[in-house]
Amino acid sequence: MAMFKTLFAAVGAASIASAVPLESRQVIPNYPPNELSTGFRLVVNVTDPATDLTPSVDGWELQGIHTGAGFNDAALTSEKGQIFYHNGTAAEIRFGEGSILSDGGSPPFPFGIYVQGEDQFDATYPAEHDVSINVGSGTIGVSLLSFPDPYFYLTAHATGTFVACPRTVPYYNQEFIVVRFAYDTFDPDTALPVHNVPEGCTAITLIPECDVLPELPEGSLSSHEYAAESKCYKDVSAINWPEYGP
């Protein structure tokens, strides 16, 4: 079962528990153990297994695919993906204003995760919002969810969800599983946000799995001065999410 289903169940359980007199209940939070690491990979958790792709992308990892000088589409691989780090000052990280970087090239220089804005669209699929891993500082606010949420995963600092989609990448004229961001719309009848997952795609959560951030060689254009220690999980695929919650 996917993590988000577990989270929704936990919210429901908390609502029921709130109706019980305080003296008759004891809530013991129980969340997956985490560790601290400067480097991490981003592992896919499929939000709703009923909408998973074939083959399943659950447990796949984020990896850029080259589409030009300094440009990479964000895609998924069944092998180990790129190593990323959370970049920003302590205050920026705390308030979700950091960015997610990776090092690439020779000498190494920073590649950031970019998410197109709500008024920007992919050139080939004009109803979809592209996610890329390009040279530069990345989109500010694309960061690991910060306190007080007890789970750790990538957020775009916007209302919506990352999705995995089988799409043809023109640079190769070949299909890859690429990552997009689907912005939510507001339902006035329920006063709740509604996911708008593109046809043929599946909603995903990108969860940090701890890894070692390699040392930068002399002459690097990248810098790890503001690479923050991040909370991450030792083995994302081994976590049985339904076991956890408040």
Residue 12 lies in a domain: no
Query: Which of 95-134 are b and which e, b meaning 16 or more Cβ less than 10 Å from the residue's Cβ?
Result: ebebbbbbbbeeebbbbbbbbbeeeeebeeeeebbbbbbb
Which DSSP letter does residue 216 get? P
Q: Considering the domain boundaries, does residue 169 fall inside one?
A: yes
27 domain-assigned: no
| For the chain, percent of residues with pLDDT exceeding 70 | 88
Domain annotation covers residue 8 = no
pLDDT tens-place string over residues 80-137:
999 999 999 999 998 888 999 999 999 999 999 999 999 999 999 999 999 999 999 9
Q: Across the chain, where does the E strand assignment appear? A: 35-37, 39-46, 61-68, 71-77, 85-87, 99-104, 109-115, 129-135, 143-144, 154-155, 160-169, 174-183, 185-187, 192-194, 202-211, 227-228, 230-232
Has residue 125 been placed in a domain?
Answer: yes
Residue 153 lies in a domain: yes
Domain tally, the chain? 1
- pLDDT tens-digit profile of 57-71? 999 999 999 999 999
Cα gap 77→145, rounded to integer Å: 23
Interval 221-245: pLDDT, tens: 999 999 999 999 999 999 998 898 8
pTM of the prediction?
0.87
Indicate whether 82 belongs to any domain.
Answer: yes
18, part of any domain:
no
The residue segments making up the domain with residue 217 are 35-239
pLDDT beyond 90 at 145: no
